[in-house]
Amino acid sequence: MERIRIAEPSLTEEDVSYVVEALRSGWVSGRGAYVQGFEEAFARWLGVDHAISTTSGTTALHLALATLGIEKQDEVIIPAFSMGAIPFAVCYLGAKPVLVDSEWNTWNMDPGRIAEKITPKTRAIIVMHTYGHPADMGPILEVAREHDLYLVEDAAEAHGAEYRGKTAGTFGDISCFSFFANKIITTGEGGMVVTNNADFAEKARVLKDMAFERDPSRKFLHKYIGFNYRLTNIQAALGSSQMNRIEKFIEIRRRNAMLYNSLLKTIEGVILPPEAPWARNVFWMYSILIDEKAYGTTVEGLMKTLQEEYDVETRPFFVPIHQQPVYVGCYSGQTYPIAEKLSAMGMNLPSGNTLTENQVRYVADAIKEARR
């Protein structure tokens, strides 16, 4: 079998035709009909009032925090087990990321550990929906409201995930999505800020467009320090086409995950990904944990075997923020046992929109054969 990649985008002739149309229109930068159309289509699909496109999920996070007025000396609570974009976005504004450990049953931020990290300097909580599984939003919302904190959702990995029937990305004061090549839909690079707050939406639109004055006659005046975070019309054209298949892509991820579950559940030492009774996991990544003693080899050993003997590409889990070289000095002496355990035991299997049933079976067979 040919090499099985970790996640490949599904690109069709329809995608090509949309991009060609954008090129032929002559609008190739951050202006053009596809930008507005993509934003409106995404907002409609998600069920929110406003969607503001950006150049990436990382810049979406930065833009969201800047829109909320996060600044130096502020503290923002984030998951210890998360992608580097979250603390980076906090640090871009001179604020301090404050870490909270994960809960074992969902791999997300532990709601019961948030309150103990709140200080007079705390301004916001960023919650990430890890690998497509929604966080336990009910108690997190309660903490945010009780302490009058902004709630930001990082739903970069969770397009279409649901918490008690409500879609991830619709709980926060402001929420962020990514459209990187391996995400459920893609614009190559790109992101989106979404909100139901009209004032936040207007400020985000201004800030992402260099904070130009809205009066055309006085364009080159700036009330704020702005950013050039404009998604191009070409990228938005691809996003518009991908939106036509977003439900299909979610169905593919979930179908493949259920097949993986059925094939891997009997292999001793393999721990399947979570899906809480109240959750709809979209399995952006199909992620497993390996119990080294029960399975017979380490995560690193299994990943190496899959790569070298079966030509199957995999990825390790995130490295907890307090263990990142750039942040070691900031969190000296701090430990986050669940985040550390997840990182040490976890690996991501091929999970993209182009993954076939035969490929899933091949990967599962390889994991079974590789067990010592």
Spatial separation of the C-alpha atoms in residues 186 and 101, rounded to whole Å: 30
Assign 122 to helix, strand or coil: strand
Question: In the CATH scheme, what architecture does the domain 13-243 have?
Answer: 3-Layer(aba) Sandwich (3.40)
The confidence score (pLDDT) of residue 87 equals 98
Smallest Cα–Cα separation from 276: which of 81, 156, 138? 138
Spatial separation of the C-alpha atoms in residues 52 and 58, rounded to whole Å: 14
The confidence score (pLDDT) of residue 205 equals 97
The confidence score (pLDDT) of residue 75 equals 98
The confidence score (pLDDT) of residue 217 equals 74
Q: What is the pLDDT along the chain (372 residues), one digit of tens a residue?
A: 889 999 999 999 999 999 999 999 999 999 999 999 999 999 999 999 999 999 999 999 999 999 999 999 999 999 999 999 999 999 999 999 999 999 999 999 999 999 999 999 999 999 999 999 999 999 999 999 999 999 999 999 999 999 999 999 999 999 999 999 999 999 999 999 999 999 999 999 999 999 887 777 777 888 899 999 999 999 999 999 999 999 999 999 999 999 999 999 999 999 999 999 999 999 999 999 999 999 999 999 999 999 999 999 999 999 999 999 999 899 999 999 999 999 999 999 999 999 999 999 999 999 999 997
The confidence score (pLDDT) of residue 328 equals 87
The confidence score (pLDDT) of residue 215 equals 73
The confidence score (pLDDT) of residue 136 equals 98
DSSP string, 169-235: TSSSSEEEEE-BTTSSS--BS-EEEEES-HHHHHHHHHHHBTTB-SSGGGTT-BSS---B-PPPHHH
The confidence score (pLDDT) of residue 225 equals 93
Distances from the Cα of 286 to the Cα of 213, 260, 272, 351, angstroms = 45, 8, 9, 6
Spatial separation of the C-alpha atoms in residues 21 and 226, rounded to whole Å: 30
Spatial separation of the C-alpha atoms in residues 25 and 146, rounded to whole Å: 50
What is the enclosing helix (H) or strand (E) of 52? Answer: strand 50-54
Tokens linked to 122: 């705390």
Residues 273, 134: contact at Cβ < 8 Å? no
Smallest Cα–Cα separation from 70: which of 207, 171, 221? 207
Q: Measure CA 180 to chain center.
A: 10
- Could you tell me the residue ranges of all domains in the chain? 13-243, 246-370
Question: In the CATH scheme, what architecture does the domain 246-370 have?
Answer: Alpha-Beta Complex (3.90)
Q: Show Cβ contacts of residue 4 under 8 Å, excluding neighbours closer than 6 positions.
A: 311, 312, 313, 350, 355, 359, 362, 363
Assign 66 to helix, strand or coil: helix
Spatial separation of the C-alpha atoms in residues 92 and 229, rounded to whole Å: 14
